[in-house]
Amino acid sequence: MKYVIVTGGVMSGLGKGITAASMGRILKNKGYDVTAIKIDPYINIDAGTMSPFQHGEVFVLKDGGEADLDLGNYERFLDIELTREHNITTGKVYQAVINKERRGDYLGKTVQIIPHVTNEIKERLRNVAKNSGAQICLVEVGGTVGDIESMPFLEAVRQLHNEEDMEDVVFIHVTLVPMDPQGEQKTKPTQHSVKELRQLGLHPDMIVTRCKMPVLPGTKEKISLFCDVPAKAVISAHDAEDIYMVPQRLEIEGAAEYLLSKLNLKSRDDLKEWDRMVEKMRSISGSVDVAVVGKYTDLEDSYLSIRESLKHAGIEVGCKINAYWLDAEDYEKEPESINQLSKYDGILVPGGFGVRGTEGKIFAVKYARENNKPYLGLCLGMQTAVIEFARNVLGYENANSSELASTEHPVIDLLPEQEGVVDMGATMRLGDYFAELTPGSLANRLYGSDAIIERHRHRYEVNPKYIDEMEKAGLKFTGRNKNRMEIAEIPGHKFFFASQFHPEFKSRPNRPSPPFLGFVRAMFEKTD
C-alpha cells in the first residue's frame, strides 16, 4: 500500500481538501485505484451533531456515516463511495482507546498518547487502506501544523513513515504564499510552516503553494532552498476558475510525474475523462437562475453538495448555474416578498432541521406549485411540499409536521415503529435505502429504472394516513420503501419533484444526479 499524506500550514481554509482530492484524481488518471481518509482532530465522534454554521454541511456516506464535507469532495473527484471508517476523529480514537483500557486490553499498563493512541491511529489507517482494495491511500490530516489537537495524528504518521518502506509514504504540505502590496510573493510563512513541521520529525516531499497568481520560478527556487525540497517539488496551486480545473493545473505543474517517481510507480494510463468534462464546462454558453430557499444561506458550504450537484447537471445540459441563496425567514417576515421568486427560472428547497424558516419554505413551495415554476425539494423540501399541499389543496389549514408543531393533522409524523424510542438517534434514517418507482412516473423516467438506492438523513416521514387523499387530489408518491414515501411529484406540472432522500450526495461531475439533471433541464428549456 502506498500512502500520500497531506498536511496544511500557515492558516486554515487554504483548500487542503481540494488539493488532496485533486492529487488523488491525477493519480487515478494515471491508472491507479485511489481511496481517501480524512482525519479531523475535533473530539466529536463525527460531524452529525455539528451546526452547519460551525462546520459546513454534514456529508452522509452510504453506510450512514455523518462526515466532514471533504469526504464529499473525495467521492466526487475520485468517483468512489466511502464509509464512516474513512473519517477518523479524535473522538473515535479516544473512545476506542478508553474502551480497550476498560476491557483490560492493555494488561495494566499506563495508557499514554505514545504508543497507545498513536498505535490506534496507525491501525485504523492501515485497516481502512487495506480493506478499500485500492493501491494508493490519500490521508488528509485536518487542522494546521502547530495546532495542539493535531499533534497525536502527526506523530502517528511520522511513525507510519518510519515503519513502512521509504518509497511507500509521501508527504505533501500545503502552504500559503501571500503577496505584499507591491505584488511581491512572500515565502516566509511557508518557511516557518515547514520549519515547524520538521521540528515534529516530518519532512515534506512536495510543497503545494496557494497563491492568487502563479508562483514565480524565483519564488519556487527560494522555497526549494530554504525548505530543502527540489524546485520541481514546489507546486503552484494558484486560484482556479473552478475547483474541477485544479487537477489539470497540478498536472501541468508536474505533480503527477513527481509523485509517481517518489512512490516508485509508473504511469499505466492517461485517462482523459476528467479533461473532457472540464472542456465541456469551459464551453458552456447559456445560463439559468435558481433560487435556493434555505435556512443556512449565510454560509454556502452548508449546501456544498447541492451547489456541486447543480453544477454537475449544468455541465451535462450545457448551461451555467447562477444560484441565489435566499433566507427562508425573510418570507416569514415579509410574506409579500415571495413574489420576487418570479425572476428565477426554478426554486429549490433543501433539507434542514427545526422550525426556524420552515414557514418561509412552505411559502416558496406554494409559489412554485401555483405558478408552474420548476421545483426541486430535498428532504425537508419534500416534507414542506406535503404540508403545503395539505394546507392549500386539501384544506387542512393547520396541517404540519409533528416535529415542528402540535397539530390535529400531522401529515409528517413518526411512524409507529419509531414512537416511544428514547434514543432519537436510533430513529434517524441514515445512509443508503432502497425505493421502488412507479412505472411511467417522472421519477421512473429520470432514473431510467424501476428501483433506486439513495442516501437519507432524516427522522420524520409522510404520514400514511393521508396518502390516499393526497394522491386523489394530485400529489403522487412515486417512490416508496414499504410504508415510507420517498418521492412526491405533481403530474402535469412543468417540473415538480421532491425526495425524502438527498440525491446530492451521489452526484458526480461526469454522472449528475437524475433529479438535479431533470430540474436543470426544465429550467433551461424555459430560458431557450
CA distance 188 to 226: 9
Q: Is the pLDDT of residue 518 over 70?
A: yes
Quick check: is 450 in a domain? yes
Please tell me which residue, 271 or 37, carries the higher pLDDT value.
Answer: 37
The pLDDT of residue 93 is 97
Span 347-369, average pLDDT: 93
Percent of the chain with pLDDT over 70: 97
* Same domain (yes/no): 455, 362: yes
Quick check: is 258 in a domain? yes
The catalytic residues are: 379, 502, 504
* Same domain (yes/no): 215, 328: no
Q: Is the pLDDT of residue 53 over 70?
A: no
Supply the range of the domain harboring residue 470.
284-527
* Same domain (yes/no): 240, 369: no
CA separation (Å) from 398 to 370, 468, 505?
Answer: 19, 19, 33
Please, what sign has the CA dihedral across residues 15, 20, 25, 27?
positive
Give 104-152 pLDDT, tens digit per residue: 999 889 999 999 999 999 999 999 999 999 999 999 999 999 899 999 9
Q: Is the pLDDT of residue 334 over 60?
A: yes
Residue 455's contacts (CB-CB under 8 Å, 6 or more residues apart) are 60, 61, 62, 431, 432, 433, 501, 502, 505, 506
**Cell digits of residue 255:** 505533480
DSSP type of residue 508: B
Q: Which residue pairs from 148-152 have beta carbons closer than 8 angstroms and sit at least 24 positions apart in sequence?
A: 149/41, 149/42, 149/90, 150/41, 151/200, 152/90, 152/93, 152/113, 152/117, 152/118, 152/121
Give 260-278 pLDDT, tens digit per residue: 999 999 988 788 899 999 9
Quick check: is 62 in a domain? no
Q: What are phi and psi of 229, to 5 degrees?
A: -130, 155
Which CATH number does the domain housing residue 149 bear?
3.40.50.300
The pLDDT of residue 372 is 96
* Same domain (yes/no): 296, 272: no
* Rg from Cα positions in the chain: 25
* Same domain (yes/no): 269, 401: no
* Same domain (yes/no): 422, 455: yes
Q: Is the pLDDT of residue 45 over 80?
A: yes
* Same domain (yes/no): 263, 359: no
Which of 277, 307, 327 marks a domain boundary?
277
Give 68-115 pLDDT, tens digit per residue: 899 999 999 999 999 999 999 999 999 999 999 999 999 889 999 999
Span 489-504, average pLDDT: 97
Quick check: is 57 in a domain? no
Q: Is the pLDDT of residue 423 over 60?
A: no
* Same domain (yes/no): 100, 142: yes
Quick check: is 251 in a domain? yes
* Same domain (yes/no): 270, 321: no
The pLDDT of residue 66 is 94
Number of domains in the chain: 2
* Same domain (yes/no): 238, 346: no
CA distance 241 to 450: 39
Quick check: is 46 in a domain? no
Quick check: is 76 in a domain? no
Span 244-273, average pLDDT: 92
Q: What is the dihedral of CA 138, 144, 149, 154, to 10 degrees?
A: 50
Quick check: is 486 in a domain? yes
* Same domain (yes/no): 306, 217: no
Which of 277, 299, 320 marks a domain boundary?
277
Which CATH number does the domain housing residue 400 bear?
3.40.50.880
- Of the pLDDT bands very low, low, confident and very high (cuts 50, 70, 90), residue 375 is very high
* Same domain (yes/no): 25, 126: yes
Which of 222, 246, 277 marks a domain boundary?
277
SS3 category, 218? helix
